[in-house]
Amino acid sequence: MIELQAEYFAAFREQAGCSSEPVRTAAGTVAELYAEIAAKHGFLDSMTRCKVAINDELVEWESPLAAGDKVLFFPPVAGG
Amino acid sequence: MIELQAEYFAAFREQAGCSSEPVRTAAGTVAELYAEIAAKHGFLDSMTRCKVAINDELVEWESPLAAGDKVLFFPPVAGG
Amino acid sequence: MDKNHFKLATAALEPDRLKRELLDDKAGAAVCFEGWVRNHHAGEAVTALEYESHAGIAEKEGQRILDEAVSRFEIIAAFGQHRVGRLEIGDCAVWVGVSAAHRGAAFDACRYIIDELKARVPIWKKEHYVEGPSGWVNCATRGAQATHS
Amino acid sequence: MDKNHFKLATAALEPDRLKRELLDDKAGAAVCFEGWVRNHHAGEAVTALEYESHAGIAEKEGQRILDEAVSRFEIIAAFGQHRVGRLEIGDCAVWVGVSAAHRGAAFDACRYIIDELKARVPIWKKEHYVEGPSGWVNCATRGAQATHS
């Protein structure tokens, strides 16, 4: 188990009811972590439409996690 | 034979050495008139790339001519 | 107010003022094209340009093109202006602006209008070169012109 | 001066000032896109919008898109800005401007940039409706959004 910080934006923040929270997880990749968090907070968006960043850099969903990471979850974008 | 007025624009005007001139012709259509005038002044442009107007309205090359018409010859356009 | 019109202009175009005529609460997208006098053409250094036209026929044909754009594309407003007279490097020679609910139609209509204006409206340009005589941009160069500039 | 950059803006965009940065003696064409807040979305009357973003990541991704455009198309300059915060109907939410020697490249690059910005840059909008609660424009509507606005 590692400890890290999850941050939520836009619709994810409203569904989670917070903009960030500490998370203890056995997930090895960002994708596994998203599955856990989506189940807990009821996020319905497919990963393929969302984006994720670790420590302020966009990363692939298969990226590994390390203790202390700040993981940012972005719902589907809708600019302009 | 009919008499009409031919007007030239841009490169046609420079090649003809005048902006307009009276013309006596046996031509029945604008296309036939262009052939005569092109031969006289050395216009090299194909009709398909040029435009022609009678009395300030663009017309087809097969349009008939009438005495007193003002026929405007436009070389290929190059705006913008 | 007319929601589409084409005009020839003898004085400097004012794109920023023209663009404001496109505003509409239903509009989500605006695409504007400006054609500027370049400092080169077909490898030769250009110092200035002169545009000549036949105002009556040019404005009628330009208006026809804008009407076509309104009937072909889902747009809200479309305007075009083209300069005549002498222009210097960097001057705006032609402006086209289109607004629409959605951007696809605005892009498509703007491109349609400028492509048709360049091909169909009787406007001719005479280029003044750094070296050598001025010349009308003629038949031989115009094919490349229509697709490239 | 940088010939391409992308920025998020917390104050009103200034398209006319931004456009002047595109000027270049070699440029013969400029294409500018503006996205405006519409008074409707998916059939509902909209009164205002709020845009939220992550500035660091959004600006990096936007810059990457402009760099891609410069390498894919024969363009001279390309700039983009996107608003964040609260906007009213008619406000400019996003601006993209491109200059090039020839118009084809300017149109293609401008469209590439706005399409990619809308698909890839982490920016979210919350719509305020005349009737009913506000809502984030979410997954379900976003597919249509990306192709339609």
Number of Cβ atoms within 10 Å of the Cβ of A52:
18
Closest residue to D118, CB basis, from A46, A57, A80: A80
Q: What is the Cα–Cα distance from D80 to D72, expressed in whole angstroms?
A: 17
Least confident of A45-54, B47-56, C54-63, C137-146: C137-146
Q: Is the pLDDT of residue C1 over 50?
A: no
Q: Tens of pLDDT along C111-125?
A: 999 999 999 999 998
State residue A38 phi and psi, 5-degree precision.
-60, -40
The mean per-residue pLDDT over the stretch C42-54 comes to 86
Whether C31 and D89 lie within 8 Å, measured CB to CB: no
User: CB-based contact (8 Å) between C54 and chain B?
Assistant: yes
Q: What is the Cα–Cα distance from C77 to D36, expressed in whole angstroms?
A: 14
Which residues of C are less than 8 Å from B75 in CB distance?
A: 124, 136, 138-139
Whether D121 and A58 lie within 8 Å, measured CB to CB: no
Surface-to-core class of residue B21, CB atoms within 10 Å of its CB (0-12 exposed, 13-18 middle, 19+ buried)? middle
Q: How confident is the model at residue C130 (pLDDT cuts 50, 70, 90)?
A: confident
Q: Is the pLDDT of residue C132 over 70?
A: no
Q: Tens of pLDDT along B9-65?
A: 999 999 999 999 999 999 999 999 999 999 999 999 999 999 999 999 999 999 999
User: In whole angstroms, how far apart are CA C67 and each of B3, B10, B40, C2, C90?
Assistant: 37, 27, 39, 11, 29
Q: What is the domain class of D10-148 according to CATH?
A: alpha beta
pLDDT of residue D133: 65
Q: How confident is the model at residue D143 (pLDDT cuts 50, 70, 90)?
A: very low
Q: How confident is the model at residue D3 (pLDDT cuts 50, 70, 90)?
A: confident
Rg for chain B (alpha carbons), in Å?
A: 12
C20's CB contacts (< 8 A; 6+ apart) are none
Q: For residue D133, what is the enclosing H or E element?
A: none
Structural tokens at position B27: 């031509």
Structural tokens at position C76: 């809200």
Q: What is the Cα–Cα distance from B4 to B19, expressed in whole angstroms?
A: 14
State residue A10 phi and psi, 5-degree precision.
50, -125
Q: For residues B53 and B80, which has the higher predicted lDDT (pLDDT)?
A: B53
pLDDT of residue D85: 95
State residue B66 phi and psi, 5-degree precision.
-130, 155
Rg for chain C (alpha carbons), in Å?
A: 16
Phi-psi region of D50 (alpha: psi -120 to 50; beta: other; left: phi over 0): beta
Q: Where are the domains of chain C?
A: 10-148
User: CB-based contact (8 Å) between D145 and chain A?
Assistant: yes
Which residues of C are less than 8 Å from B56 in CB distance?
A: 54, 56-57
Q: What is the Cα–Cα distance from D118 to C28, expressed in whole angstroms?
A: 14
Nearest chain C alpha carbon to B11? C136
Q: Tens of pLDDT along C54-98?
A: 999 999 999 999 999 999 999 999 999 999 999 998 999 999 999
| % of chain A residues with pLDDT over 90 | 90
A4's CB contacts (< 8 A; 6+ apart) are A22, A23, A25, A65, A66, A67, A68, A69, A70, A71
Closest residue to D102, CB basis, from C34, C103, C148: C148
Which residues of B are less than 8 Å from C117 in CB distance?
A: 79-80
Q: What is the Cα–Cα distance from C136 to C35, expressed in whole angstroms?
A: 18
Rg for chain D (alpha carbons), in Å?
A: 16
Rg for chain A (alpha carbons), in Å?
A: 12
Whether B10 and C118 lie within 8 Å, measured CB to CB: no
User: CB-based contact (8 Å) between B49 and chain C?
Assistant: yes
CB contact burial D105-142 (16+ within 10 A = b; e otherwise): bbbbbbbbbbbbbbbbbbbbbbbeeeeeeebbbbbebb
Number of Cβ atoms within 10 Å of the Cβ of A68:
10
User: CB-based contact (8 Å) between D125 and chain A?
Assistant: yes
Least confident of A35-39, C66-70, C136-140, D124-128: C136-140
Relative to beta strand B51-54, strand B2-8 is unpaired
Number of Cβ atoms within 10 Å of the Cβ of A78:
24
Surface-to-core class of residue C76, CB atoms within 10 Å of its CB (0-12 exposed, 13-18 middle, 19+ buried)? buried
pLDDT of residue D1: 46
Whether C32 and D31 lie within 8 Å, measured CB to CB: yes
Domains of chain A: 2-74 (3.10.20.30)
Q: For tokens 């910005």, what's the residue?
A: D117
Q: How confident is the model at residue D96 (pLDDT cuts 50, 70, 90)?
A: very high
Which residues of C are less than 8 Å from B76 in CB distance?
A: 138-139, 142
Q: For residues C144 and C26, which has the higher predicted lDDT (pLDDT)?
A: C26
The mean per-residue pLDDT over the stretch D111-123 comes to 95
Which is nearest to D145 in space by CA: D31, D5, D66, D46?
D46
Q: What is the Cα–Cα distance from C60 to B72, expressed in whole angstroms?
A: 15
C14's CB contacts (< 8 A; 6+ apart) are none
Whether B75 and C93 lie within 8 Å, measured CB to CB: no
